[in-house]
Amino acid sequence: MIINIWGIEMNDEIEFLRYVPIFSDLNEDTLEMIYKAGIQKSFKKDTIVLLEHETGSALFIIISGKVKVSRIGDDGNEVIFSLLGESEFFGEMSIIDGLARSANIITMEETDLFIIERDNFLTLIHKHPEISIALIQILIQRIRTADMKIKALSIMDAPGKVGTIIMQIAEETGKIKNGVVEIEKLPFQHDLANMAGTSRETVSRTLHSFMKKGLIELDGSKLRILNYEKFKELYK
């Protein structure tokens, strides 16, 4: 047993479930039940976990690692909608309506997933309606974020598009200290380009322009936004 940040004794095998937003208000007995209803599976980097148009049959929770949510456009290029990391989940739409997947899910690094089959998850939300409420809130948040991103990317120039994507990543994974936000592992430039709807060369030029203006620092895959409030005013 371990003691988590809430001062609650928990089996260390199920501790990761406590940090999943839709399960955060559940007691340990219920988390134990969820843990027994699912399985853990490991995936290597660049593995296709789900394919667009597949029938949805499970909910996936990220224990560790990172995945990208993407589709292939009519021009054959990949369009990345979002990046998901530890404690986030995917597959919730198809598991509820039973329709086909709306996007591809591909691992960006070695990733461990916890998988709950559709029947088990539907039973769970019938017994615990608070999970449904939390799920709806998160879905609405994701829709709002997607709407803002679409609007921004449709009207902005190249620096605006790249800046908007950096802001999105900063809000999802960044750590702030004294007004400086650090992104520990920035996605590769071709992935940033696919998220921003531009080219890798444009992303490279824009990042160098941001550095010359003193907006960011780059150290390998680590990016620091030097004045987060100023950057947010410019690109959110």
* pLDDT tens for each residue of 149-171: 777 677 788 899 999 899 989 98
pLDDT (tens digit per residue) in 174-206? 888 888 999 998 999 999 998 888 899 999 999
Averaged pLDDT for residues 22-38: 89
Claim to verify: residue 111 and residue 182 sit in the same structural domain: no
Structure tokens at 107: 């691992």
Segment 93-112 shows an average pLDDT of 87
Long-range contacts of 123-131 (CB under 8 A, 24+ apart): 124/33, 124/34, 124/37, 128/26, 128/30, 130/25, 130/26, 131/22, 131/23, 131/26
Structure confidence at residue 2 (pLDDT): 36
When divided into structural domains, the chain yields a total of 2
Is a pLDDT exceeding 70 seen at residue 229? Answer: yes
Supply the mean pLDDT for the chain.
87
Share of the chain above pLDDT 70, in %: 94
Q: 144 and 170 share a domain?
A: no
Tokens representing 67 are: 């995945």
The answer to whether residues 36 and 79 belong to one domain is: yes
Do 25 and 76 reside in the same domain of the chain?
yes
| pLDDT at residue number 197 | 86
CATH code (residue 207): 1.10.10.10
**What is the side-by-side order of every strand in the sheet holding 222-225?**
175-177, 180-183, 222-225, 216-219
| Residue 206 host element (H or E) | helix 200-212
Higher pLDDT among residues 25 and 9, named by residue: 25
pTM of the model: 0.78
> Could you tell me if 224 and 119 lie in one domain?
no
Predicted confidence band of residue 11 (pLDDT cuts 50, 70, 90) = low
Q: 91 with 180, same domain?
A: no
Highest mean pLDDT among 11-15, 164-168, 207-211: 207-211
Element (H, E) at 200: helix 200-212
Distance CA 17, CA 187 (A): 26
At 74-86, the pLDDT tens digits run 777 888 888 999 9
**Structural domain span for residue 79:** 2-152
Angle between helices 129-155 and 118-127 (to 10 degrees): 110
- Listed residues 92, 127, 152: the one ending a domain: 152
Q: Which of 115, 135, 152 represents a domain boundary (last residue)?
A: 152
- Give pLDDT tens digits for 104-153: 999 999 999 999 998 899 898 888 888 888 888 888 888 887 777 777 67
Say if residue 116 is in the same domain as residue 162.
no
pLDDT at residue 10, rounded to an integer:
45
Asked if 78 and 168 sit in the same domain, the reply is no
102 DSSP 8-state letter: S
